Every structure is written in C-alpha cells, then in structure tokens.
Structure 1
Amino acid sequence: MSGATANDGGKPTLLVVSGMSGSGKSVALKTFEDLGFYCVDNLPAELLGSFVRSVTEGDSAPRKLAVGIDVRNRHGDLASLPEWLSEVGTMGLDPKLVFFDTSNAVLLKRYADTRRRHPLSHLGLALADAIALERQVLKPLRALADVTIDTSDLNVHQLRRQVTTDLNLGLDASLSLLFESFAYRRGVPADADFVFDARVLPNPHWDPRLRPLSGRDRAVADYLDAQPDVIDYVAQVGGFLDHWLPRMRTDTRSYVTVAFGCTGGRHRSVYLAETLAAHARERDWPDVATYHRELD
C-alpha cells in the first residue's frame, strides 16, 4: 500500500477516486464529503478540467475536491486521464489519484450479498468475467495511483479510518458511529453492535405515492414524522443512544454500528438511520456516517 499527503504546500486539493466496483469508492466519497470536500461521483473524465475551473472560481470556492472516475466512464477516456490530471495541476491544484482494490473472491461475495448489478453487466458477461474485464481496463489507473487501498478485509468503519490515515486527512480519533439500514429478509448485519426493529412502525410501502421512494426522500420523511408511534420510537431510541454511546468510548474501541431493520430496507429503516445520525451530529459526535445496505 502506498501513501500520500492530501494537501501539499497549501494548494487546493483534488482527489480522483477510482478503483474496482464494489471496493468501497462510495464509502470513501461519503467520508471525504463528511470532511468538507466538494464531491462529485461518476464525472465524465473528459470534463475534469472544466469541472475544476467551474467550481474553483471566486473567493468562496472550495479548496478540497473529490471526484469519482471509474469503469462507468468510456474506456477511451480513461486512457487520457494522466493528461487531464496534468491539466488540473497547471491550474494550481494538487491532484492525487486514489485507487481502491479488492480481491475477486471478496467482490463476488459482496455482489452476491447486495444483489447489485455490475457496471459491465450490460455487455452480457457473467459476474466473474465482468470483474476480470474491469480489472484489465483499470490496470493503467492502478499503476498511476498515488495511493492504493486494498479493502478486502475492511468493514465500513475500518475503510473510513484507512482512507483518512493514508491521506493524512486528520479524522478525529474518538469513537466513530455508523448508522446502518437493512432488510430483515436478507439477514442482520454481522458487525452491528445495536439492532433496532422498525417493522412495528407504519409502513410507507403501502402508500402507492411513497412506494417508489426511499427513507431519504422528503415525502417519506414527512409521512413518518407525522406518525405518533414513529415520534415515540425516535425519542426512545435517541435517549437510549445518548445514555449508552458515551460509555462505549474506550482506548480499544474505535467504532460502533447502530443498525435499523425493516421488511424491505428501503423506507422505515433508512429514515431511522438518517434521523438518528442527524441526532448524533447535533450532539457533536465528530465522526458520524450512514450506510444503507439495500440502497448503497
């Protein structure tokens, strides 16, 4: 694993996040966003210079940028990425390419667990073949990377820590919290420290207007915010966490996962994870993240 500093000499920073699909790039981008980066995922590589020029104009322009560029781009564009990184460097930024990798066996398991489609599945390839092709396409980017992070043995918490450590981003060393949503029909997350069952709450799924949405959407949140049982549930779980989470700060424990489950993992559990994460941030927890297993 190679390492690099995210900022050098006070220059504005640009992190280009690439790597294998399923290796944790989305978690990394969310981590950068939590740390004050202006983040964009799946940017067409040819627009990298235009994007940087657009967002860095003006006195209040962000000084930390992170952009996801991977196999979802046209493959010919990826070959020109070194040229576009050099162009960004002439604009006064300090560009770094961060590559996330994972073993094929772990990638196969992750896709089986999440049942998500691989970005190259539209080519009619079997999953193992799609992964092999992606690895071949991204091989030049991996060789070019300033930082390479293997996530094969990392959970979400460990990945966030690894990212901030390898890039010298200065994440607070205190207890980090992950609020996760999941569907009971696909099993309880193995690394959850606290598990709360949301199936007792009113289900937005039965409202045809809300069914296509998720707990991230305002309409679903408004529906659940108006339910007395949901109000009681949030207050009681919030009180429980306020009381017990501070007591879990120890020299050996660096993270806690609080998981919420419902039938489909789309509405109630997602809403609760987002709501209780916001509750924790309001109480000044320095490192709070959300992960929605059935959506992310």
Structure 2
Amino acid sequence: MSEQTDNPTHVIVLTGMSGGGKTIALRALEDLDFYCVDNLPAALLPELVETVDTSRGDERTRIAVGIDVRSEDLERIPGMLSQLESHGVTAHLIFVDSRDEVLIKRYSETRRRHPLAQPKRSLADAIAEERQLLRPLIGIAEHIIDTSELNVHQLRRLIATEFAARSEGMTVMFESFAFKKGLPLDADFVFDARCLPNPHWDRALRPLSGKDAPVREYLDAQPEAVEYFNDIMRFLESWLPRFEKADRSYLTVSVGCTGGRHRSVYLVERLTDALREHHHEVISFHRELD
C-alpha cells in the first residue's frame, strides 16, 4: 500500500447492531461521494483500499465499508485499522447502535430475519448474542450513533452533517417536504412548489412519487415546472460559491409542496442530479417519503 501524504485516503468502517441503520448510513455516505462496499470481510479491507487508490489515481479517495456480525474475522478489525493508519490512511470506526426494545420492534414490523436467528432461538436472544460479539468493537469505536430515537431522514441528515466538516468544500443538502406538516426547522433556503401543476390530481400518478418516471415525464412537460427548476438553479449557481467562500460546512435547500410527494420530490431529484455534475458534496432527503 502506497503512502498517502498530500491527499490522504479516508476510510470509514461502519459496524453495529443489525437493524440499527448501518445500510441507511452507508447510503448517506455514498451520496457524499464515498466508494461504498457492504458486508466486506475485514481481512479484505487493506486490499480494497489499495485497489481503489490505484484506480482513482490522483483523485481523492474516500471509502466506506459496512461490516456486520456475520463477518468471521471481527477480531481483526482493530489490527486492520492500525495497519491502514501506519500507511498514512485516515481511518474511522463508527458503531451504529439502538436499544434492544427498539431493535425488536423494528424487526417485528418487517419480514427481515435477524442474521443470528435460529428456529429455537428468540429474537431477544439473537440480539443479546450479537451485542456480546460486537462488544470489543463498540469499545474502540471513534463515534457511536444511537438511532433509537431517529427516523431514516434524521439518520441520513446526521451522517451528512457529521462528515460534511471532514470533506473538502461545502456539502449541499436538498430536502423535499410537505407544507401541511410544517416547515423544516434547519432550512437555509425554502422554495414553494405549490404553484406548479399537481400530479396528485391524475389518478394514475397519485400513488407514485417524484422519483418515478411517469411523474418526472409529466412535470418535465410542464413549462412552469421547467422554468421554476431553471430559476432555482440560476439562484444556486450564483449564491452557493459565496456561501462556500464564507467557510460554510453545509447548507440546506428545502423545496415544499402540499403533500411532499410529487412536485417537491421531483425538483429535489432534478436539482441534486444537476448540482452533482460540478459539485461533489450533494445529498438529498425526502422528509415525507423516508
């Protein structure tokens, strides 16, 4: 593994309790331009870092790896992290946790099976065994994220704000929301899309969201929607560089409509895609969908 000096490689190892939210956290890091791999055996971590470093050349390398209790070499993780640090890699171990009763509730509400579940073992016993197996890792974790009181949206936002300060430049966070459920409290800019044609009134489009192709095609065909998108982009292209020069770590742009399902989601998706073409740190949230 080559030494990293001028542009050090950053590696985040995400581990923790099954059902705690590791997959959601990993997806949030992927939105922040991390190269993400889930369920990687710990022994392959140095090889992965070397391979990604080589493939990216002079580009900044940021890697996030999800490792769960099914890995047979959990005890090797501390040694792997030390090995990476000795080669100039900046490594972080993040543990995603949640209270046992919350984990039991989450599993009861889905069809997912706990990775340690067995026919004659209760879910509570499986969780207790997993916690025991992961105890050495929680003891050395740089940061422990307790998701007991967090929903999907809040966890993704926490990951974004936590690692925005470690990234180069400013992270822009787009958020869709429903006006009828209140304004986002942490929005820096709010745009109101309720003036646009509403797909809700089309019976075929009503059950869909702004992420779905039929809704996107419907709004793409509306001159008002295109004009509104273009106006927001012009505003952002003019003002984001000025906020970045003011050393802002992150900035939140919220777009709302009546139900937070069609028009606002559509605009957030389009804005996110457009801004990512020339601004690496962009992440999106959909408050009423997540």
TM-score, scaled to structure 1: 0.59
Say if 1:99 and 1:80 are closer, same or farther in 2 by CA, change over 3 A: same
How far apart are the structure 2 equivalents of 1:132 and 1:257? Answer: 41
Please state how far the C-alpha of 1:197 moved relative to its aligned partner: 4.3
- Hey, what's the Cα distance between the residues in 2 that align with 1:96 and 1:16? 8
TM-score (norm 2): 0.60
d(CA) in 1 for partners of 2:232, 2:263: 14
Contact 1:177–1:255, Cα closer than 8 Å, also in 2: yes
Indicate the RMSD between aligned Cα atoms, in angstroms: 5.4
What is the match of residue 141 of structure 1? 137
**How many Å separate the matches in 1 of 2:247 and 2:51?**
44
Identify which of 249, 270, 279 aligns with 1:275.
270
Q: Secondary structure at the match of 1:191?
A: coil
Q: How far apart are the structure 1 equivalents of 2:129 and 2:179?
A: 34
In structure 1, how many angstroms separate the alpha carbons of the residues matched to 2:249 and 2:84?
Answer: 40
- C-alpha distance in structure 2 between counterparts of 1:137 and 1:204, whole Å: 52
Pair 1:96-2:91 in alignment: yes
Q: Indicate whether 1:177 and 2:177 are aligned.
A: no
Q: Which amino acid aligns with 1:96?
A: A
Instruction: Specify the SS of the correspondent of 2:168.
Output: coil
Cα shift readout 1:30-53 (whole Å, capped 9, x = no counterpart): 4641xxx4x124233265466446
Structure 1 position 215, deviation (Å): 4.0
- Pick closer, same or farther for the CA change 1:251–1:222 going to 2, 3 Å: same
> Which residue, out of 277, 287, 290, partners 1:293?
287
Instruction: Give, as a single letter, the amino acid of the residue that structure 1 aligns with 2:162.
Output: Q
Q: CA deviation at 1:180?
A: 1.0
If you compute each CA radius of gyration, which structure gives the higher value, 1 or 2?
2
- Give the secondary structure class of the aligned counterpart of 2:38: coil
Task: From 206, 220, 228, give the equivalent of 1:225.
Answer: 220
8 Å CA contact 1:17, 1:67 repeated in 2 = yes
Q: Does structure 2 retain, via aligned residues, the 8 Å contact 1:55–1:62? A: no
Alpha-carbon offset, residue 196 of structure 1: 2.8
In structure 2, C-alpha distance between the alignment counterparts of 1:133 and 1:182, rounded to whole Å: 40
Instruction: Say if 1:137 and 1:121 are closer, same or farther in 2 by CA, change over 3 A.
Output: same
Distance 2:213 2:88 in 1: 37
Q: Larger deviation: 194-203 or 129-138?
A: 129-138
Work out which of the residue numbers 38, 41, 44 in structure 2 matches 1:42: 38
The separation in 2 between residues aligned to 1:118 and 1:140, in whole angstroms, is 29
Percent identity, aligned pairs only, is 28
Equivalent in 18, 29, 34 of residue 15 of structure 2: 18
CA contact (8 A) 1:18 1:25 kept: no
Deviations along 1:258-279, one digit per CA (max 9) or x if unpaired, are: 13346473x5433211222345
Return the letter of the residue paired with 1:201: N
Decide whether aligned partners of structure 1 residues 163 and 133 sit closer, same or farther in structure 2, where only a CA change above 3 A counts: farther
Report the count of equivalent residues.
270
Offset at residue 179 of structure 1 (A): 0.9
In structure 1, the partner of 2:64 is 67
SS at match of 1:75: coil
Stretches of structure 1 that go unaligned for 5 or more consecutive residues are: 1-6
Give unmatched runs, 5+ long, in structure 2: none
| Residue 162 of structure 2: aligned partner | 162
Letter in structure 1 aligned against 2:225: V
State the one-letter code of the partner of 2:264: S
Amino acid at match of 1:75: R
Name the residue aligned to 2:251: 255
Matched residues in 1 for 2:182 and 2:282: separation? 24
Tell me the residue number matched to 1:196: 192
